[in-house]
Structure 1
Amino acid sequence: MPEFGFSEAQEMLRREAERFCQKEVITGAKERDRKEEIPRELVRKMGENGLLGLNVPERYGGQPADWISVSVVVEELGKGDPLIALIPLFPILFSIALKDCSEEVRQEWLPALVKGEKIACFSLTEPDCGSDAGSLKTRAIRKGDYYIFNGEKTSITFGMMADVALVFAKTDPSAPRGRGVSCFLVPLDLPGITRSKFADMGLKAAGRASLIMDDVKVPAKYLVSEEGKGFKMAMEHMDFLRVGVSLAPLALAETALNEAMNYARQRTAFGKPIAKFEGISYKLAEAATLIETGKLLCYHAFWMMDQHMPNTKEVAMCKWWCPWVAAKVVHDCLLIFGHIGYSEEFAMERRLRDVIGFEMADGTADIMKLIIA
């Protein structure tokens, strides 16, 4: 690395994201969890503040940015709510995916995603295949100017609120495993689509859902790239999403750690602050070290993307390590707070529920270790 730190522009972006998080994200986290929804007004405010257009071409309302700048925004928003930190990643994903679509399709969707007027989701997982993505069963059969979709996608983050999805389906049912898969942009208001919400322990505002498609007619113009290239596209585009999904819960764990350190300095037992006891101070020291190592992994993976270097191994390291660290750190911080940390009146129990979900999202630790090995 020629430098080890943020540029002036990245630092300005970091401060802007930090201000937005303090004003708009942290204050409403408890209410979003209770209502199990993300207000669309919050997403629009993210667009107005330029947080949704990073790495999206200017002609669609975006702005040029490197991957380190993207990671800065994810980290700062994640300190308040890791779920909100994921939203800026989806306009980037659609911008990359739609580069082979018509200009008409790009103009239809990208400006709306950048402004926060529309919300997107990624639909790959199915009831019978999660990590084994090559075995998906959803079908998209060409009939004239349309593809007819039948099947079910499941565990879709933002599935209940999204306006559009990237959907992967078999266009050649006779093709072997991993072949004959194509990617489509699917507006979720089309007839024949129904949604079913999960009752989750955490990340309740995510609206995690199943999407059931029954003879859904999708215009052929929404085919992304060419038939049969969907599986390769999914594997190529997962990397930056996985790093974001790793960094977001880690940022929340850092917030939990800072609160636990402050509490440990103030809370007294046996005549002195509990931070003076090695049983507490060692936990805090270990947590700080674990978080720092995780952040370095994530920033290194994003830096490698900026250098156009292959980084699948490093991404997998991020994805198994960082959510595990986040869950461990938040759990330890909750125990330091004791019984009040267990109460719904405070944020710690919600944070623990939330970070656990990231251990499964976009690939489990076991699958990531297989990739590394």
Structure 2
Amino acid sequence: MKKEIKKYPAIPQERLEKYQDLWKNSTSRDGVHPDVKAHLERVKTMGGGQGIEFLSNINKDYLGAFMAPFSRDLEEADIAIIGMPFEKSAPMNASHKYGPKALRELSKNFMGTTEPWINGEFDIPFDFANIIDYGTIDTYGQFDLSGEMEHAIEHYRKIVCDNHIIPFMWGGDHTVSVAPLMTLGETYGPLSVIHFDAHYDLVTEADFPYPYHSGNMFTQNFAKGNVDPERMIQIGIRGRMTGLVGGHAKNFGTNVYFADEARVMSPREMADKIIEVVGDGPTYISLDLDSLDPVYNSASSAVEPFGLDANWVHDVLKLVRMSGKVNLVGADVVEYAPQNDPAKTFGYIAAGLSWKILCWLAADVKRRNGGENHPTNWPQAFGNVTL
């Protein structure tokens, strides 16, 4: 004979009737955070009143990174997302020229334009700031790397120096950081830099007398007064070449944390070190994806084992942002080689970290505007929103 089952008490009738009414009559928007609801209602009125379909990137080729509008109208923009597909300085293995294109596509596949932040609040970067996707700076007609970079710097002078727009950039190999560091330094004064990388990238002209390459973007800007090496922190450095080139870090006075040191530090410990080093000056983040352990990224031209955990990097960035003590004026994510990422796993990690940095940039734009939103506008007509 089977044993009788003791049934748990039923849900009280009053609550059950409430749930039945919600099932029949409620929609998600009834419980949505008011700022998120306002954002969705706002974009619903744009582009002929059809709104934006946030839940899919299917057939959204006319939208840019993270669903931002493609535009080169710089007068009202606060933040420009820029692709720079340089590859001539990739030292080994795969190149990175397809990185910006691939990350732009993957960035639209996260279903939405808002995300929970802290204390019940939400990141709504497209309400915080007017964000455009500037597209890719096309340099393929320039067969010399110097010509490519000088062409790109012309664009950055219009974006940063003339219109005071905050750049967020996807590379390309790490050479691409020359242009934003140069123009932001000229505009804001000497920059602090938060640099995640497996490599120092501190080559001097005396080492290699070529004007632009993936190892001298910081040092040439030290010499020009655009970056303060004593307010630069380098995190994740490792590998068998560090002994050959580490002297420059000591000579210039950058603050270095080897990957072995960083991995045993808590995110809070590292965040505190970053805040201490960069201070309250204008700050730039340069995230070379080879800083990550190959578990999180091996789609790179210079893979180094025993690197950083992507979740750890995420938490470090979050804690530094939460402090409110760092003034972020630009950032890049570089050296993604999508042809070495058939499952797109590493690309999604790169796009996810990019989104977190973009939200931080937009929040700092809003803060510098006295807490006022400067919303993004979309000229296109889209599909339906979920409200």
Higher RCO (C-alpha 8 Å, min separation 6): 2
Structure exhibiting the larger radius of gyration computed from Cα positions: 2
